[in-house]
């Protein structure tokens, strides 16, 4: 029996992040329903989504992934060895350096925005309406970058100190402002895209203020001064640069997707809506686990508690698959019903529903892969190894680019989703194999037993949904007299109840409720 008082912390921390992420996703769905009904897959929708993608590309480069992977373990080490004051000083120095990088980047990007838009969306060059909308949209939205980067920095500092709620709550603010902006656009004459672009920018200010307040409340506030290039900063950049290069390669994938998707009117919107649905389980579970896992793993590894970190990693993997498998099956099986029920209103017509549902089917298949990446990568990052995930990511990104070009020509915009799915599974397989080969993770007998049970229970849930569809709706109910939303709710309830029941009967709940491997 392993004494693991902090084993349950991974569940509690994940639950905190998960609850706020769930609220954010719900608000996000309300936002997307309004967005789809008002803008559909038209020129304003494509132009806004492209414009909003530009700061998000840089945000993921600077503020997520590689940054967190390099920053959190070093900050955790500072806190453990030298106390919180040392950690605050380190955070302050990194913040000053980020300002020196981000401000010139924003100024240059504003100046050259027309060229940036043409590069990211060459399909817009021959579509003057989309091009003339995208450039001013992008100029309004891009300064959002500086606010969201500092939001991520504040969140990382809080996460390292075991405070998760405010960082997870910040995205709710974005969704609230976008919902308000969309509603206002209904009653005010003017460009809807301009209104929601300003909503994004203003939301960034309030997100940053929320996290700054949380840092102050927890004694983690800091002043910004001219940065000092000391050994800590050099070590940070030594870890950050390889990860940033890897993130850069990942963002190239998104750029490639934009380049291809921009050539098909509506494709950017179809892929966006389907991705938003697929991101629900990935965001709630995958991101929650990954966010809570990194600080906990870093502490265990720094203390040399290898057996305990193996148990934490095992439970994180199995917990992610516990949610990923049924999510993938459900979204694939109910794809068209989900899209029609969520977005099939206003100007979002039947052809949009069909195209979006086909993309969702592919994204659904990819959910287990991308959820696994979220819980496998922190094991490397916690050991201050950003190079391995970067090299794997670079290889998979290169493969994705080639596959996108080939599959796009063969299957249209769906090829973009298929190539991403293939690259995601390859990334997961390589990460998992290397973890085992380096003895960073050992598969126990219990691991395989629970994995088989989860697969079996998922299959039983799928059979339940099939019976519900074939017997109940085909023989006892007249489908035309029941709305799609009613069917969707019934499918979700029956699927959820059957999955929980089968898990209980097979004893899977008992595994997650204990603090040691069986």
Q: Is residue 516 part of a domain?
A: no
Residue 55 belongs to domain spanning: 12-443
Return the pLDDT at 517: 42
Say if residue 134's pLDDT is above 90: yes
Most confident of the following: 112-116, 184-188, 292-296: 112-116
Q: How confident is the model at residue 13 (pLDDT cuts 50, 70, 90)?
A: low
Return the pLDDT at 387: 79
Q: Is residue 461 part of a domain?
A: no
Number of independent structural domains in the chain: 1
Give the Cα separation of 77 and 64 in Å (integer).
19
Q: Is residue 21 part of a domain?
A: yes
User: Whose structure tokens read 């291809």?
Assistant: 260
Q: How many Cβ atoms sit within 10 Å of the Cβ of residue 116? A: 19
Q: Which of 101-115, 224-238, 265-279, 394-408 has the lowest mean pLDDT?
A: 224-238
Give the model confidence (pLDDT) of 490-499 as tens digits: 888 988 899 9
Under 8 Å between Cβ of 223 and 89: no
Q: Is residue 130 part of a domain?
A: yes
Any idea how long the chain is? 518
- How confident is the model over 481-490, as a mean pLDDT? 71
Say if residue 179's pLDDT is above 90: yes
Give the model confidence (pLDDT) of 22-38 as tens digits: 788 788 888 988 988 89
Q: Which of 9-13, 98-102, 441-445 has the lowest mean pLDDT?
A: 9-13
Rg value, the chain, Cα: 23
Q: Is residue 469 part of a domain?
A: no
Q: Is residue 236 part of a domain?
A: yes
Under 8 Å between Cβ of 239 and 69: yes
Q: Is residue 318 part of a domain?
A: yes
Say if residue 368's pLDDT is above 80: yes
Say if residue 190's pLDDT is above 90: no
Q: Is residue 7 part of a domain?
A: no
Q: How confident is the model at residue 1 (pLDDT cuts 50, 70, 90)?
A: very low
Return the pLDDT at 211: 87
Under 8 Å between Cβ of 324 and 368: yes
Enclosing H/E stretch for 106: helix 84-111
Give the Cα separation of 287 and 302 in Å (integer).
23
CA 356 to chain centre: 19
């Amino acid at each position: 029996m392993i004494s693991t008082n902090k084993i349950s912390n991974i569940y509690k921390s994940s639950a905190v992040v998960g609850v706020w992420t769930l609220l954010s996703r719900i608000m996000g769905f309300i936002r997307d329903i309004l967005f789809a009904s008002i803008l559909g897959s038209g020129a304003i929708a494509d132009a806004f989504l492209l414009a909003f993608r530009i700061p998000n590309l840089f945000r993921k480069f600077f503020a997520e992934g590689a940054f967190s992977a390099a920053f959190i373990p070093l900050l955790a080490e500072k806190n453990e060895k030298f106390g919180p004051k040392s950690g605050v000083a380190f955070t302050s120095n990194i913040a000053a350096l980020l300002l020196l990088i981000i401000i010139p980047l924003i100024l240059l990007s504003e100046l050259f925005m027309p060229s940036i838009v043409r590069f990211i969306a060459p399909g817009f060059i021959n579509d003057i309406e989309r091009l003339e909308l995208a450039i001013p949209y992008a100029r309004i939205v891009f300064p959002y970058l500086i606010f969201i980067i500092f939001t991520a920095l504040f969140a990382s500092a809080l996460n390292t100190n075991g405070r998760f709620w405010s960082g997870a709550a910040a995205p709710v603010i974005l969704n609230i402002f976008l919902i308000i902006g969309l509603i206002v656009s209904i009653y005010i004459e003017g460009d809807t895209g301009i209104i929601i672009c300003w909503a994004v920018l203003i939301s960034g200010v309030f997100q940053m203020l929320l996290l700054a307040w949380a840092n102050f409340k927890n004694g983690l506030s800091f002043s910004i001064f001219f940065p000092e290039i000391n050994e800590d900063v050099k070590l940070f950049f030594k870890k950050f640069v390889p990860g940033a290069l890897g993130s850069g390669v990942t963002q190239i994938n998104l750029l490639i997707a934009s380049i291809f998707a921009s050539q098909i009117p509506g494709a950017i919107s179809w892929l966006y809506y389907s991705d938003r649905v697929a991101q629900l389980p990935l965001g709630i579970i995958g991101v929650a686990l990954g966010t809570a896992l990194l600080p906990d793993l870093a502490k265990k590894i720094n203390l040399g508690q290898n057996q305990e970190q193996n148990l934490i990693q095992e439970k994180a993997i199995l917990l992610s698959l516990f949610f990923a498998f049924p999510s993938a099956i459900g979204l694939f099986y109910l794809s068209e019903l989900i899209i029609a029920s969520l977005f099939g209103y206003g100007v979002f017509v039947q052809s949009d529903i069909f195209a979006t549902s086909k993309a969702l089917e592919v994204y659904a298949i990819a959910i287990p892969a991308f959820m696994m990446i979220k819980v496998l990568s922190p094991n490397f990052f916690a050991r201050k190894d950003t190079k391995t995930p970067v090299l794997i990511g670079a290889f998979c990104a290169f493969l994705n680019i080639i596959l996108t070009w080939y599959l796009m020509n063969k299957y249209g915009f769906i090829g973009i989703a298929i190539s991403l799915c293939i690259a995601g599974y390859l990334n997961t397989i390589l990460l998992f194999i290397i973890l085992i080969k380096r003895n960073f993770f050992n598969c126990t007998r219990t691991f395989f037993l629970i994995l088989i049970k989860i697969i079996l229970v998922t299959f039983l849930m799928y059979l339940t949904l099939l019976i519900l569809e074939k017997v109940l709706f085909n023989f006892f109910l007249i489908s035309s007299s029941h709305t799609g939303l009613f069917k969707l709710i019934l499918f979700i309830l029956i699927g959820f109840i059957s999955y929980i029941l089968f898990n209980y009967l097979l004893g899977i709940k008992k595994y997650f409720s204990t603090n040691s491997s069986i």
